[in-house]
Amino acid sequence: MILKSWRLLLAVECIFIRTSSQSSPQKRQCTFQVTPQGDRYSIAGNVSGSVQLCENTRCCVGYYMIVNGKPKVDILACDIAEKSCPDATCKAQIRLSGRVIKCVCNTDLCNSNITWTPESEEPQLTRYSGGDIVKTALTLVGMLLVLCFMIAAKWISLLKKKNPPSLDDYSASQLCSCQTTKHSEVDVTNIELQQIVSHGDFATVWQGKYQGSMVAVKVFPEGWKQKFTTEREVYELPLMKHPGIVHFLGAGWKPDGGRWLTVLQFAECGSLHSFLCENTTSWMSSLKLCQSLLQGLSYLHSDLHRYDAHKPPVAHRDLSSSNVLVRADGTCALCDFGCSTILRSFSGHRGRQSHTANMMDHAQRGTLRYMSPEILEGSVNLKNTGSFMQGDIYALALLLWEIWMRCSDLFEGGIVPQHQLPYRSELGANVTKERLILYVCHMDKRPSIPQHWELLPQGSALEEILTDCWDCDPDARLTAQCIVNRLVSLQSCHNLHIKHLHCSLCVTSV
């Protein structure tokens, strides 16, 4: 009876310890060193050099192999799942007949120094004496009450997951309370700035070298710290790594001159704007540009829960051909998140209006000619901040138009036009907000679509995608994922058309 009570007490205590540690805001830091066989421990937290910041546990773990009578490090990391770790130091536990030593501990970097001698034995459970039975029973009752409370809370949480919030239930904040990953600091003294690639409104982008690799270094003057901070927060959200989003390598502060630096993956072909100015595309290569662009935006807009991490939806809010990069493989990657807004969910509708006043000043963000009609007019529905993502879709339509207007297969037998920004031919190079409002909002006009596209196999589908994305009614616009699905269907139909064409040619030759 005593042994059963002890086992139950241990089980309840493990659950109680797990719950208590999850509620603590401070994350555990553990020494990180793994062999290739232990690579799975890298998912337990964010790694910076030899330190790992735990995501799911308050426990550090260490595995040592006994080689020639001495412990040799096999795995040092955060534990993958929360377990009981009552020891503050790394006390040896013998495993596999003395060939392996394990320790689990609960203080920062405690797994780096194991307490072990060759005579160490596996710890034994302490036995209860008869006088402890009453105390144990009372403890069990208390623990069982806590367990019941936890089960009820878990049940409520599961019910909420069955009814996820809609976009109407999102409120926005430039500095979201969502948990971000650990800041990825870089040693700015190791960054070599080589040449300027581009100038933006808020920063200058350099081609540089860092840790032996070519990188892009975005340099913000001291006065634009807020843009730097916003961009960094977006990049450091959990689960933000995606092929359609430029890879973030880290950030830092350069004291001389007072500059903030963001280090990013280098895109060999530069911005989409410069790429389209210098290159025409085939139908298949234009689809590759469009699909990678759409997949990146769809991922940015998505609300993800994986491995107990949460990436909330993010509205880019400054999509333009200058803020999309093109890699050497012909795929696109989103960048420039200084105007972005992280959307966070609230359980109720109360509180949304408190954010409305704060967001009024930030509603009109982005590049003027890519602003949607509702943003131009200042009629954005701030109570439904999903409208910011609908504004992204409008800008996306203009990007798709730019790409397709440089596709040689859509101008067969004719001359492919030089690359032009949206509304340049209609309103000129230096477009004003007043003229855009008149043309886009009051006249409901959009960039012109070539008439001969109606005669092409894919022409009507392309026109339908554009008109459905830049519709004056934000609620009528497609989602990024819906456009991805349409383009996949369009590509399948094109491949089938080519296949039938080849078959016809084979029959004719016979």
206 strand-pairing partners: 196, 217
Res 135: pLDDT: 59
Is residue 168 assigned to a domain?
no
**Is 131 a residue whose pLDDT tops 70?**
no
- Choose among 389, 266, 261, 403: nearest CA to 327: 266
Q: If you average pLDDT over residues 166-181, what whole number do you get?
A: 42
Question: Do the Cβ atoms of 322 and 271 come closer than 8 Å?
Answer: yes
79 tagged catalytic: no
* DSSP calls for 188-224: GGGEEEEEEEEE-SS-EEEEEEETTEEEEEEEEEGGG
Annotated catalytic residue: which of 74, 169, 318, 336?
A: 318
Shared domain check, 409 and 491: yes
Shared domain check, 456 and 409: yes
Residue 132: pLDDT band (50, 70, 90) is low
Instruction: Point out the least confidently predicted range of 342-346, 395-399, 482-486.
Output: 342-346
**Residue in this structure with the two tokens 């089980």, named with its chain if needed:** 11
Shared domain check, 274 and 261: no
Res 363: pLDDT: 59
Shared domain check, 441 and 299: yes
Shared domain check, 307 and 251: no
Sheet containing strand 51-54, edge to edge, reads 29-31, 51-54, 45-48
**Is 23 a residue whose pLDDT tops 70?**
no
Instruction: Point out the least confidently predicted range of 6-20, 203-217, 469-483.
Output: 6-20
Question: Do the Cβ atoms of 389 and 247 come closer than 8 Å?
Answer: no
**Is 498 a residue whose pLDDT tops 80?**
no
Q: Measured between alpha carbons, how far is 203 from 206 in angstroms, rounded to an integer?
A: 10
Give the CATH number of the domain where residue 259 resides: 3.30.200.20
**Is 172 a residue whose pLDDT tops 60?**
no
* Residue where one domain finishes, among candidates 265, 299, 324: 265
Residue 378 or 491, more confident: 378
- Choose among 147, 132, 172: nearest CA to 2: 132
Give the CATH number of the domain where residue 429 resides: 1.10.510.10
| φ and ψ at residue 99, rounded to 5 degrees | -90, -20
Residue 101's domain comprises 29-105
Is residue 141 assigned to a domain?
no
Tens of pLDDT, residue by residue over 71-104, are 888 889 998 777 778 889 998 888 766 778 888 9
Q: If you average pLDDT over residues 415-419, what whole number do you get?
A: 94
Is residue 378 assigned to a domain?
yes
Q: If you average pLDDT over residues 374-387, what whole number do you get?
A: 84
* Residue where one domain finishes, among candidates 265, 287, 306: 265
Shared domain check, 284 and 261: no
- Percent share of the chain, pLDDT over 90: 48
Q: If you average pLDDT over residues 295-303, what whole number do you get?
A: 96
Shared domain check, 339 and 255: no
**Is 418 a residue whose pLDDT tops 90?**
yes
Is residue 377 assigned to a domain?
yes
Q: Measured between alpha carbons, how far is 322 from 486 in angstroms, rounded to an integer?
A: 25
Shared domain check, 217 and 73: no
Q: Measured between alpha carbons, how far is 19 from 119 in angstroms, rounded to an integer?
A: 35
Shared domain check, 411 and 287: yes
Res 189: pLDDT: 82
Q: Measured between alpha carbons, how far is 290 from 402 in angstroms, rounded to an integer?
A: 10
Residue 350: pLDDT band (50, 70, 90) is very low
Is residue 178 assigned to a domain?
no
Q: If you average pLDDT over residues 170-176, what whole number do you get?
A: 41
- Choose among 296, 281, 228, 287: nearest CA to 416: 281
Shared domain check, 235 and 288: no
Taking the complete model, does pTM exceed 0.85, yes or no? no
* Residue where one domain finishes, among candidates 86, 105, 124: 105
Q: Report the chain's mean pLDDT, rounded to a whole number.
A: 80
**Residue in this structure with the two tokens 């949480």, named with its chain if needed:** 157
**Is 451 a residue whose pLDDT tops 50?**
yes
Tens of pLDDT, residue by residue over 390-404, are 999 999 999 999 999
**Is 24 a residue whose pLDDT tops 50?**
no
**Is 25 a residue whose pLDDT tops 70?**
no
Shared domain check, 280 and 205: no
68: alpha, beta or left, given left = phi > 0 and alpha = psi -120 to 50?
A: left
Res 129: pLDDT: 45
Res 414: pLDDT: 76
268: alpha, beta or left, given left = phi > 0 and alpha = psi -120 to 50?
A: alpha
Is residue 492 assigned to a domain?
yes
* Number of compact structural domains in the chain: 3
**Is 130 a residue whose pLDDT tops 50?**
no
**Residue in this structure with the two tokens 């590509």, named with its chain if needed:** 491
155 sits in which H/E element: helix 133-162
Instruction: Point out the least confidently predicted range of 176-180, 231-235, 366-370, 380-384.
Output: 176-180
Res 214: pLDDT: 95
Res 431: pLDDT: 92
Q: If you average pLDDT over residues 312-333, what whole number do you get?
A: 96
Shared domain check, 286 and 256: no
Is residue 509 assigned to a domain?
no
The tokens of 401 are what?
A: 């138009």
78 sits in which H/E element: strand 70-78
Q: How many CB atoms lie within 10 A of CB 288?
A: 17
Residue 505: pLDDT band (50, 70, 90) is very low
Residue 154: pLDDT band (50, 70, 90) is low
Question: Do the Cβ atoms of 393 and 469 come closer than 8 Å?
Answer: yes
Res 424: pLDDT: 95
Sorted by sequence, the CB contacts under 8 Å of residue 491 that are 6+ apart come out as 287
Strands (E), 124-212: 170-173, 191-199, 204-210
Angle between helices 2-22 and 133-162 (to 10 degrees): 40
